[in-house]
Amino acid sequence: MDERSEIRFTGVDMSTIMFNMDNGRDMDELKEFILSQPEAYEIKIGDRAFRRPGDPPLEEVIGRLRRDKEKGDDAGSEEGDGHVKEEL
C-alpha cells in the first residue's frame, strides 16, 4: 500500500506559510525537515512553537532587532557634539 501523505502549503504573508496534512503521523518528520532549512526559524503546530535547540522565541528576536534599530536610529541623529542634526 502506498503511504504517501498529501501536504498543502499556503503563503500567508512574507514570513508565514500555513500547511495542512492529511496524515498527522508525519508531523514530526515535517517539523524536522522544516527546521533543517536555513530559511526557517520557527514552526508553530497548534498553540506550540518549535525551534532549533538553544534558539530564543521569535518574538524575543524581533524585539531585540527593533530595539537595536531604534538605538541605531537615535545614535545616527546626533552629531559628535550631542546636537541633533537637522535635514532640509
- Domain map (residue ranges) of the chain: 7-76
CB environment 3-41: b (16+ within 10 A), e (fewer) = eeeeeeeeeeeeeeeeeeeeeeeeeeebeeebbeeeeeb
pLDDT score for 1: 41
Backbone angles phi, psi at 31, to 5 degrees: -60, -45
pTM comes to 0.57
CA-to-CA dists, residue 3 to 23, 34, 81, angstroms: 9, 20, 70
Contacts of 79 (CB under 8 A, 6+ apart): 85
pLDDT score for 35: 92
Q: What is the Cα–Cα distance from 59 to 26, expressed in whole angstroms?
A: 27
C-alpha cell at 26: 508525519
Rounded mean pLDDT, 20-37: 85
Q: Each residue of 31-83: pLDDT tens digit?
A: 898 899 988 888 888 888 899 999 998 889 889 999 998 888 766 555 555 55
